[in-house]
Amino acid sequence: MRYALLVQGAPYSHQAAHSALRFASALIDRGHRLETVFFYHDGVYNAQRLATPPQDEPHLVEAWQRLHHEQGTALLVCVAAALKRGVIDERESRRHGKQGHSLAASFELTGVGQLIEAAMTHDRLVTFSP
């Protein structure tokens, strides 16, 4: 089966992001394909490149990036939710006259239309919310 995940919880504030990663791992272990993860609302903080958790905690941003590199999973971030929260890529940084960017590599800013497309084209869309 082809899966998409919707992650709406910030890392380290709620269990949603960690649960989504564990679910992703279980899917892959059972031979399913995780093609898309869409980060929405506070879930966009999962794409924050400046996150530096303590060494005894899981580094969720790096875990998402590993998923992308190992499985080819698209890591899509709602641009409207991200901009409101200061999660911004280089292009948007220039467009808005900001001095830096905070979107981690492997993540892509996109519109909510990509979420709708994922819901329509994947076998399952599973939501992880706080």
Describe the crossing of helices 60-71 and 16-29 by its angle, rounded to 10 degrees: 30
Average pLDDT, the chain: 96
pTM score, whole prediction: 0.96
Range of the domain at 42: 2-128
Mean per-residue pLDDT for 31-55? Answer: 96
Per-residue pLDDT band at 31 (split at 50, 70, 90):
very high
Q: What CATH number does residue 34 fall under?
A: 3.40.1260.10
In 3D space, the residue among 102, 130, 123, 105 whose CA is nearest the CA of residue 33 turns out to be: 123
In 3-state terms, the chain is what percent helix, strand and coil (to 5)?
A: 40, 20, 35
Nearest to 79 by CA among 60, 62, 97, 101: 101
**CA 25 – CA 32 distance, rounded (Å):** 10
Instruction: Please identify which of the residues 10, 20, 74, 78 carries the catalytic annotation.
Output: 78
Q: Which two tokens stand for residue 22?
A: 């564990």
Query: Known catalytic residue: 78?
Result: yes
Strand partners, 88: none
- Total domains, the chain: 1
Mean pLDDT of 52-63: 94
